[in-house]
Amino acid sequence: MKIKKNIALEFNDFSKNYTNDMIGCVPHYAELISSFVEHLPNDFYPKSILDLGCGNGNVSAQLMPHFPDATYTLVDASIEMINLCRKQFSSYNVIYANNYFKDFAFKKDEYDLVVAGFSLHHCDEVEKQSIFNSIYNSLKKGGIFSYSDLMISKTNPDHKKLIKSWEKFVNISFPDGEKWAWIMEHYEAFDKPTDYDLQIEYLSRAGFENIQTPFKKAYWTHIQAIK
């Protein structure tokens, strides 16, 4: 599998066997996806939900059975991913935005819940900070931002160790080594993960006061921040 020239085209291609690939390529993927529901407060009933980098809809699909009457806004640069969501979510209230995050108009005080599954590591440090600010402003007071991602920078002294253990994990499901070679090409071209501590600092600077980490195994992390 050759990598494509931008995120939108890359994920159009990736959409074909997406969930299977993610389960085999991302350690703890299932737990990091179920975290989006599992760690919400029991008395939290969001009416307006924004899913940033919805992909084929795995995060929204977790939320929908629990919050069937909410309005969902799904943003993704890849039209094929958006189309997979359209097919799947026809019986829910969904607004689609086939946009890059930088071109999405975040409305002020609009959402009760903003979620992002494995999408923010595609943004560089400047864009991440800008998105955290936009998310904070677009949440209502008491609203929640939760996201799952790989949280280690490529310059972290432990990065080489992470890569070794990640390779071992991927080669269990895809032993011929081709998938790992593709992941590394994709990772080099498109992925800009940030250290966990720095992300907590960015979230605090954006204004979040209550920041929890309900799931963290090695660098695979789910964070929840309340406005």
Ligand X SMILES: C[S@@+](CC[C@H](N)C(=O)[O-])C[C@H]1O[C@@H](n2cnc3c(N)ncnc32)[C@H](O)[C@@H]1O
Q: Note the residues at the interface with ligand X (CB under 6 A).
A: 7, 11, 22, 53-55, 58-59, 75-78, 81, 100-101, 117-119, 122-123
CA 146 to chain centre: 9
Nearer to ligand X, 143 or 193 (CB): 193
Q: Which two tokens stand for residue 178?
A: 């081709």
Nearer to ligand X, 127 or 195 (CB): 127
- Minimum CB distance to ligand X, residue 69 (Å): 22
Nearer to ligand X, 48 or 60 (CB): 60
Q: Which two tokens stand for residue 120?
A: 């923010």
Q: Can you give the length of the chain in residues? A: 227
- Minimum CB distance to ligand X, residue 29 (Å): 8
Nearer to ligand X, 125 or 142 (CB): 125
Which among 161, 214, 225 has a CA at the least distance from the CA of 32?
Answer: 214
Nearer to ligand X, 44 or 100 (CB): 100
Q: Which two tokens stand for residue 31?
A: 């737990």
- Minimum CB distance to ligand X, residue 178 (Å): 19
On the CB side of 64, CA atoms within 13 Å amount to: 17
User: For residues 114 and 145, is the Cβ–Cβ distance under 8 A?
Assistant: yes
Report helix, strand or coil for 212: strand
- Minimum CB distance to ligand X, residue 20 (Å): 12
- Minimum CB distance to ligand X, residue 90 (Å): 19
Which among 192, 22, 221 has a CA at the least distance from the CA of 121?
Answer: 192
Nearer to ligand X, 209 or 219 (CB): 219
| Dihedral sign computed on CA atoms, order 8, 11, 13, 16 | negative
Q: How far apart are CA 35 and CA 51, in angstroms?
A: 14
- Minimum CB distance to ligand X, residue 149 (Å): 9
